[in-house]
Structure 1
């Protein structure tokens, strides 16, 4: 329900009924986590490692450093380029091995009888 509200552009604040604390950040993080489990295009592992390595508050600082969250898109674009280049290199390697001369072993001499 909260995810749908956000997707529709609504500003959302989540308050814990027990202690009246703002739990918006942790709630949205949980929503992202749940979506990632079902996603075909998850956040790259390298990005997640970077966030964890930076310690507390890293995710917010990571996003703040990027312009409107574009850093994640840049990482994804670079990963796509790496996959494409890897595929091209694999194709070139297959072509060169297909056309390469095969090793010929000398035939055993047959004795004429």
Structure 2
């Protein structure tokens, strides 16, 4: 994992490559799959989340519309709540498929209990439905792969990138809350 040191003059130094690096350079490392850690040269404080936020900010400045205004406004308005909603929405298609499978099994079980279908028939039908669903998923994959490539080309972050960013924003939010609490306690002690 490349470790980037941030100096007081805001310069960034890649300790692995042994050279200075820009925010764009860090973004490129991340796009190439590297897990990057950014630390303050003096205090060794982890600045990864702050740096990734700066990268997003810079990309937004250059590529006006990188993130829709509604997403940015929602993030500011709701803080962590929006991120939790985003996380749930990313997981919801998988949850929906799970619920569909459970509902099919439940209905087949009811037919077996009523004597309207033999257990073997229910198992066979369940397997056929699962196989048909998997076949449909395979048919959709080329379209899904094209969509993923299109989104990547347009700079839309992947699910993994969003989850990583969400985690880093949550860490940053916790640090900010702690700093506010410390400052409040310090002010209370001075009064």
The TM-score with structure 1 as length reference comes to 0.51
For structure 1, which runs of at least 5 residues remain unmatched after alignment?
70-113
Q: Please state whether the residue corresponding to 1:47 is helix, strand or coil.
A: helix
Larger radius of gyration: 1
**Higher RCO (Cα < 8 Å, 6 or more apart):** 2
Q: Is 1:38 the counterpart of 2:62 in the alignment? A: yes
Q: CA deviation at 1:42?
A: 2.2
Structure 2: gaps spanning 5 or more residues: 1-24, 91-158, 163-191
Contact 1:51 1:62 in 2 (8 A): no
Match 1:6 to one of 8, 11, 30: 30
Deviations 1:51-84 (A, max 9, x none): 00113x4575455334224xxxxxxxxxxxxxxx
Is the Cα–Cα contact under 8 Å of residues 52 and 58 in structure 1 kept in the other structure?
no
Larger strand proportion of the pair: 2
The aligned counterpart of 1:65 is: 88
Asked whether the equivalents of residues 15 and 21 of structure 1 are also in contact (C-alpha less than 8 Å), the reply is yes
Aligned length: 68
TM-score by length of 2: 0.32
Two-structure CA RMSD over aligned residues (Å):
2.1
> What residue in structure 1 maps to residue 78 of structure 2?
54
